[in-house]
A and B are shown apart, each in its own frame.
Chain A
Amino acid sequence: MKADNRSPQQKFKPIKKIPEDNGSIIPTKRLSVALLGNPNVGKTSIFNALTGARQYVGNWPGVTVEKRIGIMYHNNIEFKITDLPGTYTLSATSPDEKIARDFLLYESPDIVIVISDAINLERSLYLLLQVLELRGDVILVINAIDEAKKSGIYIDKAEVEKHLGIPIVLTSAVTGEGIPELKNIMSKMKEGKVHVHYVFDHELEEEISRISSILVARRELKNYDARWLAIKILEGDAEIQKLTGIEINREFSQELAVTRYRFIKQILRDAYSRKTKTKWDLNTAIDHVITHKFLGLLIFLIIMYSVFQLTFSFGAPFSSLIEEVVEGLAGFFSSLIPVQWLSSLISDGIISGVGAVLVFVPNIFILFLALGILEESGYLPRAAFVIDRIMYAMKLSGRSFMSMILGFGCNVSSIMAARAINEPQERITTILVSPFISCSARLPVYVLIAGTFFGAKAGLVVFSLYILSIVFTVLSALFFNKLLYKGKPAPMIMELPRYRRPTVKSLLIYTWNRGKHFLEKAGTIIFAASIIIWFLSYFPSAGNVHDSYAAILGRVLEPLFRPIGFSWQIVTSLVFGIAAKEVIVSTLTMFYSTGANLDGGTLTLVNSLTPPTAFAFLIFVLLYVPCIATLVVMKNETGSLKYLIISVVYSFTLAYVMALLFSFIGGYIL
């Protein structure tokens, strides 16, 4: 691996141009900037404030698992700003931490901005010291200064600057305080190569000098700071030991950490003061109840029930309105176009197929809005804390739960978020079980089937599916851990963020960012799938579905599903649903709206399934093979085809067995 020696102008081309904030169009200089910091200190908020981007800012650690890039113009300088995933150290113990470290090491940004949390400054300064050991041109941003002031915290900025010798900016991404100052400092930043002012103990310094002198002589390492490499070798960093080929018998990580913390304590003693608390604050009081041993789980369950009930009930009238519009459009085009096949393609294929999915847009947006409120307020990490006990019994940690809960939006995000899990085994298990978390793409199927078969109990049925998805996820995790791995998971160490009142702007960004994915799918995958399904169900017999290619495919597979009670239409919809789960709804709508009848009468969804079989169908949709996008990400994230095959075989088997079971026992319950 080589360090980048190109000039800043050669190094990059701007990806996205944001309207500049002060004047000139042609930049005279280009600089690359890295935003680094502990998880959940507000890096993305600062990124948004600097670039004008609208990235979602979560109130829990691990929201950013990939680099995000934005452009800022200030004082005729173009800044390419990279928002890195949160990290506590530069030791790169998890994939997202590795992304952050590799960026500093191999991309060599011109400026590094370390974002810290004014309320938890000590831990943030530890990361800063590690960055300062590596390089100069660092700015320390102490964020959430407004909240610190409210909590009675005073930070003497000049004193911190005196100790560290780097520019310090006190900011609040919420109020915008300090952002203009930060921009000015960035544009005035000169190459300083300031290295931190503390020295380690005598024995350590001797070791550092000895190793440094060996490294300085190595030409292939000339682009790295020898002292930093020596410190990392003494810390026992496997990657650096491999890079340098130097291994030591004894680790000094503890001694190094003690020295750093001693220096931090000295800074805090001189520059940081806090009024002593005599009573509980709001966070402590709420946490006392929300994370209660017994009440915590009950509260979590009623909150989730309310979310799904609202999604169903409050979304219903809006869905009905869209349904009427779609029906009207289909009827209009059907009567307008005289050519039968073209009329069928547009009204039965495209409008009914895509429209069948668009009908559920209100439900999806309400679900994301509600999940956004939970995330934004800071409740989700508490839910992870409450669930951690159960997860630990299943050999997973609450960290996995945090990743899984993203799966309620999309399983792809859930699998990506597993990068924040340090333990490789736990990470693989989390990736394998993530598809069992019921994603938003399945919601249209639930709403359609539950609404058709279960009437007033539809909300309860949808809620029960979400609960079942959690149950199957944790049981599958237990199974995979037994089968593939042994041992206990790493205990969850996660700081609970402060509660925040969700802002309308942030909720709108969250809801839109998640919901637009659904709309994009409707315009791309579902649109294409609707045309393909129409083609397969129209030809070769000019509109007779029973002799169509789709029917042939469904009938070939139907015997396999006959014990569960699925007709060929249902089976075909499941096959097409592998492209994207929403396609199941499009397929069913197309089959049943065209009267895919067996004996002359119109066949409707209601008389093709019984309530127990309908519930079995929902279970099958919940559990069976993940969609193609999820499978591709799974393959990329695990780097192995083996896990993809395991996932497909296991999920299909589980779906089949459970659907069969529910179709039998469902008759006694429903």
Chain B
Amino acid sequence: MKNSRINVLLWLMGTLYFLLGLNTLLGFFLAEKDLMFAIMLMVNAAIYLFGLLENPENLNRRAAHLLVGSFFSFLISLFKIFILIGLWLSGIVENMCMLSIPVANILVIFSGIVASFIYAATRKLFD
């Protein structure tokens, strides 16, 4: 993976997760208001964006932020999926539907799946 590609990905993913965090904070589009989850997304954004503050000549340092950031993005989507499974099962036990589109925060889940491919590609740099 080239340096320029890493830089672009850091920008893109950092901005995406910052916006996802903002969206979750405000409950604006397909998301339920959730302060703590918004903070998680913002921290994930910070992992990407701090990579841009590293020495531009040092590919390893920048790629490390992309690697860990994308892994966290994937973990966050897994976290959300587990929460949704918990809600779905609770709904079955309580005999009511507890799931909704805003609760699912589908954009975060989708972004996490995309991030898993970025993680797989970045990991090759360190194998």
Q: Residues on A close to B: CB < 8 A? A: 279-282, 284-286, 288-290, 292, 294-295, 298-299, 301-302, 305-306, 309-310, 313-318, 320-321, 324, 459-460, 463
The reply to whether A306 and B79 form a contact with Cβ atoms under 8 Å apart is yes
The reply to whether B92 and A288 form a contact with Cβ atoms under 8 Å apart is no
In the complex, which residues of chain B have a beta carbon less than 8 angstroms from the beta carbon of A282? 123, 126-127
CA distance A533 to B36 in the complex (A): 39
The reply to whether A288 and B64 form a contact with Cβ atoms under 8 Å apart is yes
* Pick from B46, B47, B68: contact of A285, CB under 8 Å: B68
The reply to whether A299 and B123 form a contact with Cβ atoms under 8 Å apart is no
The reply to whether A288 and B61 form a contact with Cβ atoms under 8 Å apart is yes
In the complex, which residues of chain A have a beta carbon less than 8 angstroms from the beta carbon of B82? 310, 313-314
Which residues of chain B from 91 to 127 have any CB-CB distance to chain A below 8 Å in the complex?
92-94, 123, 125-127
* Pick from A289, A315, A460: contact of B68, CB under 8 Å: A289
The reply to whether B125 and A317 form a contact with Cβ atoms under 8 Å apart is no
In the complex, which residues of chain B have a beta carbon less than 8 angstroms from the beta carbon of A315? 86
The reply to whether A294 and B50 form a contact with Cβ atoms under 8 Å apart is yes
Chain B interface residue number, banded: 20 to 34
The reply to whether A317 and B86 form a contact with Cβ atoms under 8 Å apart is yes
CA distance A119 to B2 in the complex (A): 31
Nearest opposing residue in chain B for A456, CB measure: B34
The binding surface of chain B is classed by DSSP as: helix
The reply to whether A286 and B67 form a contact with Cβ atoms under 8 Å apart is yes
The reply to whether A302 and B39 form a contact with Cβ atoms under 8 Å apart is yes
Please list 21 pairs of residues, one from A and one from B, whose beta carbons are closer than 8 Å in the complex, sorted by A's number: A284-B60, A285-B67, A285-B125, A286-B68, A288-B61, A289-B69, A292-B50, A295-B43, A298-B46, A302-B39, A302-B40, A306-B40, A310-B83, A310-B86, A314-B86, A317-B93, A320-B93, A321-B93, A460-B35, A460-B36, A463-B36
In the complex, which residues of chain A have a beta carbon less than 8 angstroms from the beta carbon of B69? 289
Q: Nearest-CB distance from B54 to chain A (Å)?
A: 9
Nearest opposing residue in chain A for B61, CB measure: A288
In the complex, which residues of chain B have a beta carbon less than 8 angstroms from the beta carbon of A459? 36
The reply to whether A280 and B60 form a contact with Cβ atoms under 8 Å apart is yes
Nearest opposing residue in chain B for A286, CB measure: B68
CA distance A460 to B39 in the complex (A): 12
The reply to whether A285 and B63 form a contact with Cβ atoms under 8 Å apart is yes
Nearest opposing residue in chain B for A314, CB measure: B86
In the complex, which residues of chain A have a beta carbon less than 8 angstroms from the beta carbon of B26? none
In the complex, which residues of chain A have a beta carbon less than 8 angstroms from the beta carbon of B86? 310, 313-317
Q: B85 interface residue, CB < 8 Å from A?
A: yes
In the complex, which residues of chain A have a beta carbon less than 8 angstroms from the beta carbon of B65? 288-289
In the complex, which residues of chain B have a beta carbon less than 8 angstroms from the beta carbon of A294? 46, 50
Q: B87 interface residue, CB < 8 Å from A?
A: yes
The reply to whether B90 and A320 form a contact with Cβ atoms under 8 Å apart is yes
Nearest opposing residue in chain A for B88, CB measure: A317
In the complex, which residues of chain A have a beta carbon less than 8 angstroms from the beta carbon of B61? 288
* Pick from B36, B67, B126: contact of A305, CB under 8 Å: B36
The reply to whether A310 and B126 form a contact with Cβ atoms under 8 Å apart is no
Q: Nearest-CB distance from A212 to chain B (Å)?
A: 53
For the complex with contacts A289-B69, A295-B46, A318-B89, 8 further pairs of A-B residues with Cβ separation under 8 Å are: A279-B60, A280-B64, A288-B64, A289-B47, A302-B39, A321-B93, A324-B93, A460-B35
Q: Nearest-CB distance from A140 to chain B (Å)?
A: 31
CA distance A208 to B44 in the complex (A): 60
The reply to whether B87 and A313 form a contact with Cβ atoms under 8 Å apart is yes
In the complex, which residues of chain B have a beta carbon less than 8 angstroms from the beta carbon of A289? 47, 50, 64-65, 67-69
Nearest opposing residue in chain A for B71, CB measure: A286
In the complex, which residues of chain B have a beta carbon less than 8 angstroms from the beta carbon of A305? 36, 40
The reply to whether A295 and B79 form a contact with Cβ atoms under 8 Å apart is no
CA distance A318 to B68 in the complex (A): 33
| A313-B83, A314-B82 known; A290+B40 contact, CB < 8 A | no
* Pick from A288, A302, A309: contact of B43, CB under 8 Å: A302
The reply to whether B127 and A299 form a contact with Cβ atoms under 8 Å apart is no
In the complex, which residues of chain A have a beta carbon less than 8 angstroms from the beta carbon of B67? 285-286, 289
1/0 contact string of B48-84 vs chain A (CB within 8 Å): 0010000000001101110111001001000100110
CA distance A394 to B82 in the complex (A): 37
CA distance A290 to B82 in the complex (A): 24
* Pick from A284, A309, A460: contact of B83, CB under 8 Å: A309
Q: Nearest-CB distance from A583 to chain B (Å)?
A: 27
* Pick from B72, B89, B125: contact of A279, CB under 8 Å: B125
